[in-house]
Amino acid sequence: MKRLFSILSAAVMLLSIAAVIVYAAGDGKNRGDVNGDGKVDSADALLVMKYDAGLTKLSENEIKRADLNGDGNVDSCDAVCILRIAAGLKVPDAEPATKPTTAPTTTDPNWDP
- C-beta separation of 66 from 34 below 8 A: yes
Question: Which residues are within 8 A (CB) of 33 and not within 5 positions of it... i.e. 6 or more apart?
Answer: 39, 40, 44, 65
Q: Which of 46, 85, 49 is nearest to 68 (CA)?
A: 85
For the domain 28-86, what is the CATH superfamily, name and number?
Dockerin domain (1.10.1330.10)
- All structural domains of the chain with their residue ranges: 28-86
Tell me the pLDDT tens digit for each residue of 13-59. Answer: 655 554 444 444 454 458 899 999 999 999 999 999 999 999 999 99
The whole-model pTM stands at 0.58
